[in-house]
C-alpha cells in the first residue's frame, strides 16, 4: 500500500496556498485533501448561489493546487469526518494536519479525529490577543477595539494621531441615495467548465455575479479599488432600488473562504489611498469594516463561546414568516425588495441586513435561532463565525446586550431617510396606527412598549422612552401591532 507522510486537510473556507497549514506545504512530501461532504451540501440547499460558489471555488482550488505540483485528493463523502477517515485508511497516512478551524463545530470534529492544528492566520488578530483585549474591557465596544487595531497595526496613523485628525468619519458617511447618479460598474465574472459542471450537478445556471477562483477574486478587488473605493464612505449606508451593490466591495465571500486574505485587501486599499486622491472618509470607512468589524466579530465569536448562538434573552418565539421564503407575500416594499435581492444573488449590504431584515425580525419577535438559520442558509458569505455575532448580538440583541449596548431598532423613518423604498409603498412610514401605518413604525413603538422593563433604564434609550411616554394612542398602537403580526403570519402584510 502506498503511504502518505502528511495529509493536509483543506476545509472549503481556507482556500489559500499562502496561509495556515498550506504555507509550509511541500509537494514532495505532502498530499492535500478536500472533502465534498453530502451533509454540508444539504445544509447549503436553500441557496443555489451559495452552494454553487462553495463547490465551484473548492474545485477550482483543487485544480490550482494540482497545477502547483501537489497530489490533491478531492473526496466525495457523506460527511467530513468520514471523508478524512476513509482517505487516512486508504492511503496509510502518518499524520493529518489542518489550519485551526474557523468554527467551534469543525474544531470539535477535527480534534476528535486527532487532526493536528497549525495556527489560523486568516485574521490579523490572533484569538489570544483578542481575548486579552476583551478581558480588559467593561463593555465590548467595537470602537475601542478598532482604535487599538489602528495603533497596533499602524494603519492610517500620523505618528500617534489618526490620519485626517479623526478616528471616525461615520457622520459624513450617512448620505441617502443620490438622485440622477451614475453608478460605477461591477464585474461579471467569466464562467468556465468547472462552474458549468457544478451548475449542471445542482441544477443552477451561474450568472457570473460571483467569482469562483482566486484570479476572479483578485479581479473583484482591483475593480473595487479602481472604481468604487473613492465613493464607498458617504454612500455606505444608503439603500436604493436603482443599484444592488452601490459602492460596496463585494469581497466578503472571498475573504470568508480564503480566496482573498485580509492583508492583501488592506494592502491594495492603502496603496490606492497613498496616491492621495481618495477621501479619507472613504478609506477610513472601509478600513473600519475590515480591521474593525470583521476582526472584532471573529474575536467575539470565539470569546463569547459555543453556546452564545442559542441566546434568546428577549424570549422571542415567532416563527419565520412566509415573506422570507417568498417576497410576493408582502406589500412592504423594503422587505419585499431586500428578500428578492437575497434570492437573486445571496447578498445585500450591511444596512439591509441590519436595518431591514434583522430590524424586522427583532420588532416582529421572530425567534433568533430560526432567523439565524434563514440568514445562514440564504447569504453567499454566510459562515458561522460571522453570522452568529452579527445576528444574535448586533441584529437581534438576543444576548442581553453583551455585544451592543442597545438594540438596533428603528421605525419606518430611518428606512425612509436612507432609501427610496418608501416611495410607492402601500404603507406610510410616518403613521403608527391605522391600515396605512408602516409596519416598522407600528412594531417599533410596540417593541419599546413590550420591553419597557428591560430597556427603559438604558441611558442610551432615554430619548426613545421619553417619546413613548408622550404617545396618547398606546392602546390603538397595541391593537394595530397585533393586527400587523396576524397579517404577517397570514402572508398578507
Ligand X SMILES: Cc1cc2nc3c(=O)[nH]c(=O)nc-3n(C[C@H](O)[C@H](O)[C@H](O)COP(=O)(O)OP(=O)(O)OC[C@H]3O[C@@H](n4cnc5c(N)ncnc54)[C@H](O)[C@@H]3O)c2cc1C
Applying CB under 6 A, the span of 42-50, 279-287, 309-317, 437-445 interacting with ligand SF4 comes to 437-445
Q: State which of positions 295-354 bind ligand SF4 (CB under 6 A).
A: 332-334
Rounded least distance, CB 426 to ligand X, Å: 26
Task: Tell me whether strands 157-158 and 116-118 are parallel, antiparallel or unpaired.
Answer: unpaired
# residues near ligand X by CB under 6 A: 27
Q: Three-state DSSP class for 26?
A: coil
Q: State which of positions 252-271 bind ligand X (CB under 6 A).
A: 252, 255-256
The total of other beta-carbon atoms located within 10 Å of residue 90's CB is 13
424 burial type by CB count under 10 A (0-12 exposed, 13-18 middle, 19+ buried): exposed
Is-contact 390 340, C-beta < 8 A? no
Q: State which of positions 391-420 bind ligand SF4 (CB under 6 A).
A: 412, 415-416
Q: State which of positions 344-373 bind ligand X (CB under 6 A).
A: 349-350, 353-354, 358
Separation of CA 477 from chain center: 34
Rounded least distance, CB 158 to ligand X, Å: 24
Judged by CB, which is closer to ligand X: 93, or 387? 387
Rounded least distance, CB 450 to ligand SF4, Å: 19
CA distance 153 to 261: 16
Which among ligand SF4, ligand X, none contacts residue 404 (Cβ within 5 to 8 A by kind)? none
Task: Tell me whether strands 71-77 and 30-37 are parallel, antiparallel or unpaired.
Answer: parallel
String marking each residue 288-307 x if it binds ligand X according to CB under 6 A: -xx--xx--x----------
Judged by CB, which is closer to ligand SF4: 220, or 337? 337
Q: Which of 70, 421, 444, 445 binds ligand SF4 (CB under 6 A)?
A: 421
CA distance 213 to 219: 10
211 binds ligand X (CB under 6 A): no
Instruction: Give the residue among 196, 8, 200, 216 at the shortest CA–CA distance from 98.
Output: 8
Instruction: Give the residue among 102, 170, 211 at the shortest CA–CA distance from 350.
Output: 170
Judged by CB, which is closer to ligand SF4: 168, or 331? 331
**Paired strand residues for 98:** 117
Judged by CB, which is closer to ligand SF4: 122, or 427? 427
Nine cell digits for residue 110 = 477535527
CA distance 72 to 74: 6
Length in residues, the chain: 493
Which residues contact ligand X (rule: CB under 6 A)? 248-252, 255-256, 289-290, 293-294, 297, 349-350, 353-354, 358, 375, 379, 381-382, 386-387, 390-391, 394-395
Which residues contact ligand SF4 (rule: CB under 6 A)? 332-334, 412, 415-416, 421-422, 425, 427, 429, 438-440
Amino acid at each position: 500500500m502506498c503511504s502518505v507522510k502528511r495529509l493536509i486537510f483543506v476545509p472549503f473556507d481556507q482556500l489559500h496556498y499562502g496561509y495556515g497549514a498550506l504555507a509550509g506545504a511541500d509537494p514532495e512530501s505532502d498530499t492535500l485533501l478536500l472533502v465534498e461532504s453530502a451533509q454540508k451540501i444539504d445544509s447549503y440547499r436553500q441557496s443555489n448561489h451559495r452552494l454553487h460558489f462553495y463547490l465551484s471555488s473548492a474545485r477550482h482550488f483543487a485544480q490550482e493546487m494540482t497545477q502547483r505540483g501537489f497530489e490533491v485528493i478531492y473526496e466525495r463523502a457523506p460527511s467530513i469526518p468520514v471523508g478524512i477517515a476513509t482517505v487516512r485508511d486508504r492511503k496509510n497516512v502518518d499524520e493529518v494536519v489542518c489550519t485551526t478551524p474557523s468554527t467551534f463545530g469543525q474544531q470539535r470534529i477535527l480534534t476528535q479525529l486527532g487532526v493536528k492544528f497549525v495556527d489560523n492566520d486568516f485574521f490579523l488578530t490572533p484569538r489570544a490577543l483578542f481575548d486579552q483585549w476583551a478581558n480588559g474591557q467593561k463593555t465590548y465596544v467595537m470602537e475601542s477595539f478598532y482604535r487599538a487595531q489602528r495603533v497596533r497595526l499602524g494603519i492610517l496613523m500620523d505618528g500617534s494621531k489618526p490620519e485626517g485628525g479623526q478616528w471616525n468619519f461615520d457622520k459624513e458617511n450617512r448620505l441617502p441615495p443620490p438622485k440622477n447618479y451614475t453608478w460605477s460598474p461591477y464585474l461579471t465574472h467569466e464562467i468556465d467548465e468547472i462552474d458549468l459542471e457544478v451548475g449542471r450537478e445542482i441544477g443552477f445556471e451561474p450568472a457570473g455575479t460571483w467569482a469562483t477562483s482566486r484570479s476572479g477574486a483578485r479581479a473583484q478587488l482591483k475593480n473595487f479599488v479602481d472604481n468604487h473605493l473613492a465613493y464607498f464612505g458617504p454612500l455606505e449606508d444608503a439603500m436604493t432600488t436603482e443599484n444592488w451593490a452601490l459602492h460596496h466591495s463585494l469581497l466578503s465571500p472571498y475573504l470568508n473562504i480564503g480566496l482573498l486574505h485580509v492583508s492583501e485587501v488592506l494592502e491594495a486599499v492603502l496603496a490606492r489611498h497613498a496616491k492621495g486622491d481618495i477621501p479619507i472618509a472613504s478609506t477610513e470607512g472601509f478600513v473600519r469594516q475590515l480591521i474593525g468589524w470583521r476582526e472584532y466579530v471573529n474575536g467575539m465569536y470565539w470569546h463569547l463561546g459555543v453556546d452564545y448562538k442559542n441566546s434568546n434573552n428577549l424570549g422571542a418565539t415567532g416563527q419565520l414568516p412566509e415573506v422570507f421564503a417568498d417576497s410576493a407575500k408582502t406589500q412592504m416594499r423594503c422587505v419585499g425588495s431586500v428578500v428578492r435581492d437575497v434570492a437573486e444573488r445571496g447578498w445585500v449590504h450591511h444596512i439591509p441586513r441590519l436595518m431591514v431584515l434583522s430590524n424586522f425580525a427583532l420588532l416582529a419577535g421572530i425567534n433568533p435561532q430560526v432567523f439565524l438559520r434563514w440568514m445562514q442558509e440564504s447569504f453567499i458569505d454566510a459562515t458561522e463565525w460571522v453570522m452568529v455575532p452579527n445576528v444574535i448580538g448586533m441584529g437581534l440583541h438576543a444576548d442581553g446586550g453583551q455585544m451592543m449596548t442597545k438594540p438596533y431598532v428603528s421605525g419606518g423613518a430611518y428606512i425612509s431617510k436612507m432609501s427610496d423604498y418608501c416611495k410607492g409603498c402601500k404603507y406610510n412610514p410616518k403613521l403608527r396606527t391605522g391600515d396605512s401605518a408602516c409596519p416598522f413604525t407600528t412594531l417599533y413603538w410596540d417593541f419599546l412598549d413590550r420591553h419597557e422593563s428591560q430597556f427603559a433604564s438604558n441611558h442610551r434609550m432615554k430619548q426613545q422612552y421619553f417619546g413613548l411616554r408622550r404617545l396618547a394612542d398606546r392602546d390603538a398602537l397595541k391593537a394595530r401591532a397585533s393586527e400587523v403580526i396576524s397579517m404577517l403570519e397570514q402572508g398578507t402584510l
